[in-house]
């Protein structure tokens, strides 16, 4: 059985080398190692998302104490260092020596002796300087200071400072680094919030109503096993961010209407439309990705939704097809994702300055 740190390392390496969705990749590993103690699952989750959030600051520390330039460090070793430094810097319950020893042990499994010595040397230097590394001067911040302290790419911070000012940008970056809550949406076609909350309580899951979205519950305890619950398999709820749920309500679809979900993705909002329509009417869900459409169809079946027809195509081609008019159209166009960095911290390291303009042109076309 792999250790929690080894599993976190595998996930982070996959994200670094092959991209992918961190939340889905994490869940696939947690399902694969389902017998892990909940505390170990919590550590894996903390390491994966913590390292992604603070990657810029962690890399800055590596560069400060490494005799090798960051880009020349093997990705396997770079992630070992990031993960260990994250524990030393941010996880007070884990002794620094334990983080160092586990990192050295992990390096020894795949790296030659001189690399193991390199890992040990860098982490010992970090441990010796931990107090100074933890001290952060948050007064009179510049764009460069915000980028380094709060671990955001400089080009993003520059753009935000220009638009929002220094103080609001710093506050935004701080908010991006907070752990988001886990929210679920009650499938009101099959149950009520009260009945679902009681069923979850019996399964050891603690929930409370969300602040803004109707029929949304925040999971306070037990979120690691949500997708393995009988209530999930029966389609009684969908795991979905509260903000995502709110957006769908703006469309206000009604029963018997004909709706187009033009960039449906995995269908989270599609299924809300069906709920608001009381599973009566017609929804066309369109997406360019075949595997997203397949996942959408599987999810609709689980939720017992029967009014959605799916179409895998570029939505810009719909004008060429003989399709009846729609009462309402919802377009969740592809975007930079910079507004959801708290939940998807990897995005800030993948985006490039030209992406925002490029995506704005695509949005206009759509």
d(CA 213, CA 243): 8
Q: What is the CATH number of domain 4-134?
A: 1.10.940.10
Q: Do 4-134 and 179-246 share a fold? A: no
Residue 223: predicted pLDDT: 78
Q: Is the pLDDT of residue 228 over 80?
A: yes
Q: How confident is the model at residue 221 (pLDDT cuts 50, 70, 90)?
A: confident
Banded model confidence at residue 288, pLDDT cuts 50, 70, 90: very high
Q: What's the burial of 58, exposed, middle or buried (CB within 10 Å: 0-12/13-18/19+)?
A: buried
Q: What are phi and psi of 259, to 5 degrees?
A: -120, 140
- What local confidence, expressed as pLDDT, does residue 79 receive? 98
For the ranges 1-15, 16-30, 320-334, the lowest mean pLDDT is seen at: 16-30
Angle among Cα 219, 224, 230 to the nearest 5 degrees reads 85
Question: Kind of pairing, strands 328-330 and 308-312?
Answer: unpaired
pLDDT at 19 over 80: no
Band of the pLDDT at 264, cuts 50, 70, 90? very high
The predicted pLDDT at position 289 comes to 95
The dihedral through the CA atoms of 182, 50, 25, 331 has a sign that is: positive
Q: Which residues contact 117 (CB under 8 A, 6 or more apart)?
A: none
Residue 224 has pLDDT above 90, yes or no: no
Q: What is the pLDDT of residue 138?
A: 82
Write down the pLDDT at residue 58: 98
- Give 172: exposed, middle or buried? Use CB within 10 Å, 0-12, 13-18, 19+: buried
pTM of the model: 0.89
Q: Is the confidence at residue 341, as pLDDT, over 90?
A: yes
Domain boundaries, the chain: 4-134, 143-176, 179-246
As a whole number, mean pLDDT of residues 204-212 equals 95
Instruction: Please count the other Cβ atoms lying within 10 Å of the Cβ belonging to residue 255.
Output: 11
Give residue-wise pLDDT tens across range 178-187. Answer: 999 999 999 9
Give pLDDT, residue 67: 93
Q: Helix (H, G, I), strand (E, B), or coil: what is residue 238?
A: strand
Range 254-274 average pLDDT: 96
- In this prediction, residue 137 carries a pLDDT of 82
Phi/psi region, residue 140 (left: phi>0; alpha: psi -120 to 50; beta: rest), is left
Which tens digit of pLDDT belongs to each residue from 34-73?
888 989 999 999 999 999 999 999 999 999 999 999 999 9
Query: What's residue 136's pLDDT?
Result: 84
Question: Is the model's pLDDT at 127 over the cut of 80?
Answer: yes
Give the DSSP H or E segment for 258.
strand 258-261
Asked if CATH classification 3.40.50.880 holds for the domain at 179-246, the reply, yes or no, is: no
Q: Is the pLDDT of residue 279 over 80?
A: yes
Lowest average pLDDT, out of 19-28, 205-214, 325-334, goes to: 19-28
Query: Which position has the token pair 């209407």?
Result: 257
Q: Tokens 């603690």 correspond to what residue? A: 206
């Amino acid at each position: 059985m792999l250790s929690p740190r080894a599993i976190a390392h595998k996930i982070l390496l996959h994200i670094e080398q092959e991209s992918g969705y961190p939340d889905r990749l994490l869940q696939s590993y947690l399902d694969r190692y389902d017998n892990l103690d909940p505390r170990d699952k919590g550590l894996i989750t903390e390491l994966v998302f913590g390292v992604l959030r603070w990657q810029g600051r962690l890399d800055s520390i590596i560069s400060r104490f490494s005799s090798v330039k960051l880009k020349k460090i093997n990705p396997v070793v770079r992630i070992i260092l990031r993960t260990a430094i994250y524990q030393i810097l941010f996880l007070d319950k884990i002794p620094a020596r334990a983080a160092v020893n586990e990192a050295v042990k992990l390096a020894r499994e795949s790296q030659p002796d001189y690399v193991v010595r390199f890992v040990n040397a860098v982490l010992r230097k970090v441990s010796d300087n931990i107090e100074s590394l933890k001290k952060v001067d948050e007064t009179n911040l510049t764009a460069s200071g915000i980028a380094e302290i709060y671990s955001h790419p400089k080009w993003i911070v520059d753009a935000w400072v220009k638009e929002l000012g220094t103080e609001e940008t710093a506050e935004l970056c701080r908010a991006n680094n907070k752990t988001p809550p886990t929210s679920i949406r009650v499938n009101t076609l099959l149950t009520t919030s009260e009945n679902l909350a009681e069923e979850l309580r019996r399964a050891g899951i603690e929930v409370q109503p969300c602040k803004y979205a109707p029929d949304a519950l925040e999971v306070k305890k037990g979120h690691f096993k949500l997708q393995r619950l009988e209530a999930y398999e029966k389609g009684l709820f969908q795991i979905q961010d509260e903000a995502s749920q709110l957006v769908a309500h703006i469309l206000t679809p009604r029963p018997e209407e004909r709706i187009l979900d033009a960039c449906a993705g995995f269908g989270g909002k599609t299924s809300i439309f069906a709920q608001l329509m009381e599973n009566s009417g017609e929804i066309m869900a369109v997406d360019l990705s075949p595997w997203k459409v397949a996942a959408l169809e599987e999810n609709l079946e689980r939720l017992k939704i029967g009014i959605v027809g799916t179409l895998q195509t570029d939505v810009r081609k719909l004008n060429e097809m003989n399709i009846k008019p729609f009462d309402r159209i919802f377009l969740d166009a592809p975007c930079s994702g910079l507004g959801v960095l708290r939940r998807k911290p990897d995005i800030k390291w993948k985006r490039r300055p030209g992406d925002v303009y490029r995506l704005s042109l695509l949005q206009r076309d759509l």
